[in-house]
Chains A and B, each alone.
Chain A
Amino acid sequence: MIEMTHHVALISRRSLIRTARQPGTWIPPLTFPLILMAVNSNGLRAATHLPGFPTHSFLAFFMPFAFMQGALFASGIAGTDLARDIDTGFLNRLALTPVRGGALLMGQIGGAVGLGAVQAVLYLGAALAAGVHIDAGPGGAALILLFAIGTAAGFGSLGLWLALRTGSGEGVQSMFPLLFFLLLISSMNLPRNLIEVTWFRDLATINPVSYLIEALRSLVIEGWNAEALLLGFGCMLALMAVSMVLAARQLRLRMTRT
């Protein structure tokens, strides 16, 4: 166990260094969600006048979107980096060391998780600076950070699975529009009870991303809402578990060492 933890730390360190040395991979996830948050919170401010809208601040309402968008970027980074390792043979180099498959996967998402943490602090700091009040207090703010990191790890694992399945960066990138589509058909812009188009509301209701967003949103605008938090954390943990299992199975097929 100690050895495995050490291996995870070593591979995570490498993943973090690699991510940090590629500004092209971390500048967009840090800036785009903030820009979109600023544009939408101004442009869609009128939505707060809708009867039943849960808050007067659209920025507070929309803020969780940034965390989700950042997590999607994390999936792309983790997946693309692993695909490059497959392509260059670096995965074979690691396979020739005593490192275990589980440590390899957990280490590989280190860069995505690290970036997820930096993103979360930045988004939260920007929102607080813009006057957003976290109803759940400092504990809620800490939980938002934890949740954002967990979601980045979940989507990051999904990226690893795609990389292991396709073996190419292009394969990983091709899934990004689909994941972004899931974000768009969620409750990111309106509470589900205010979505009047039935099919859209139904899609948003069966879309797990809605519950990830609503868990974060509840901490910002409602305080401690057990139901929203349970659903959100449940979806996040399920995403992590399913993605990790898929990635681990695919790794066994890809890394056929005896």
Chain B
Amino acid sequence: MSARDQGIVVEGLVRQFKDIRAVDGIDLTIEPGQIYGFLGPNGAGKSTTVHMLTTLLPPSAGRATVAGYDVVADGPSVRANIGAALQETALDPFLSAREHLRLQASLHGIRGQERLRLQDELLQRVGLTQAADRKVRTYSGGMKRRLDLALSLIHGPSTLFLDEPTTGLDPQSRAALWEEVGRLAREEGVTVFLTTQYLEEADVLADRVGIIDHGRIVAEGTPASLKAEIGRSTVEIVPESGDQLHRLGEILRRFGTDTAARPGAAAVRLDGNGGLADVVRALDQEDLRAAAINLHSPSLDDVFLAKTGRKLEGAEDDGP
């Protein structure tokens, strides 16, 4: 079985820093070619987990295999099969993108025409061909992130670790990076382990999501299953006329239970006695006109709230 046919298996992984247990016995199984979103607030243990899985930090206990190799016993084999773009854009401001790629490829033993071909291909893929010979210190944050990604891919890894890859990026750069990561998993079968604080990122990209808090995984599953686990959608309606608000509430209560709404609106959490279409039909029958109707589906933030009792830091920063 090749490294590309192996995903990531983690059993009871622990990392202790003196009195602090940064990662507290996590278990994971990530299938090859899957995008796994590792979600959690600052200090939850995401980066420590990535450092252990990329062999940069020895675990205190437990075991993990990446691409079929044990992260403690087979460190060099793991490194040969993984690419990693860690939290810092680890670039030399005085080198150009082409020089970075040349160094990275050569250190991985890629030489001559093959190296040149890969350099050009990756520069084109991440949209840096025009800027390839400019020093990195002149790059924007998005350009640095894209170069970081290209560097992590130069040796054709089967597994890719991305530690908060879109933090600080503008929406356009974020979308471009999402597209490339999605393509890598879809078309090249690369297993992607992605840590993020952005709920939308995990929702859009990940096949499966793990939520980590205080070093422990508190929830795991597909984004849809996690959301389905915690609840139903909410309907919020603003009546055309304010004096119809009371009657609107009465109608809505036929479909669910009252929930918080903004001023001038009424809202219910649907309880299964009909969906949005039934609500609209009922309003029509009662001759009640709505100025606005909002259907709010449960989000990963709701999942996080339900599992940890608090909202995820940075959730408000979610960009489009």
Contact = CB atoms under 8 A, between A and B. Distances in A.
Given A10-B106, A93-B151, A88 B56 contact: no
Interface string B86-130: 111111101100010001101111000000000000000000000
A88 B86 CA distance: 10
B108 A257 contact: no
A256 B87 contact: no
A258 interface: yes
Interface in A1-37: 3, 6-7, 10-11, 13-14, 17-18, 21-22
A97 B75 CA distance: 11
A99 interface: yes
Interface stretch (B38-46, B76-84, B189-197): B76-84
Interface in A83-106: 85, 88-90, 92-99
A98 B110 CA distance: 12
Interface string A221-235: 000000000000000
A89 B88 contact: yes
A209 B75 CA distance: 42
B16 to A, nearest CB: 14
A61 B58 CA distance: 54
Q: Which residue, of A11, A85, A90, has the highest number of chain B Cβ atoms within 10 A? A: A90
A89 B79 contact: no
Contacts of A10: 103, 106-107
A102 B92 CA distance: 21
Interface of A, secondary structure class, is helix
Contacts of B135: 21
A258 B71 contact: yes
B75 A258 contact: yes
Contacts of B91: 88, 90
Nearest to B71: A258
Interface of B, secondary structure class, is loop
Interface string A94-134: 11111100000000000000000000000000000000000
Interface size class of B (residues with CB under 8 A): 20 to 34
B104 A14 contact: no
A7 B107 contact: yes
Contacts of B95: 14, 17-18
B54 interface: yes
B90 A93 contact: yes
Interface size class of A (residues with CB under 8 A): 20 to 34
Contacts of A93: 86, 90, 104, 151
B182 to A, nearest CB: 23
B108 to A, nearest CB: 6
Given A22-B94, A256-B58, A258-B55, A89 B107 contact: no
Nearest to A10: B106
Contacts of A94: 107
A104 B54 CA distance: 19
Contact of A96 (B79, B92, B99, B103): B79
A180 B99 CA distance: 35
Contacts of A98: 76, 79-80, 107-109
A53 B87 CA distance: 61
Contact of B55 (A7, A22, A257): A257
Interface of A: 3, 6-7, 10-11, 13-14, 17-18, 21-22, 85, 88-90, 92-99, 256-258
Interface of B: 54-58, 71-73, 75-76, 78-80, 82, 84, 86-92, 94-95, 99, 103-104, 106-109, 135, 151
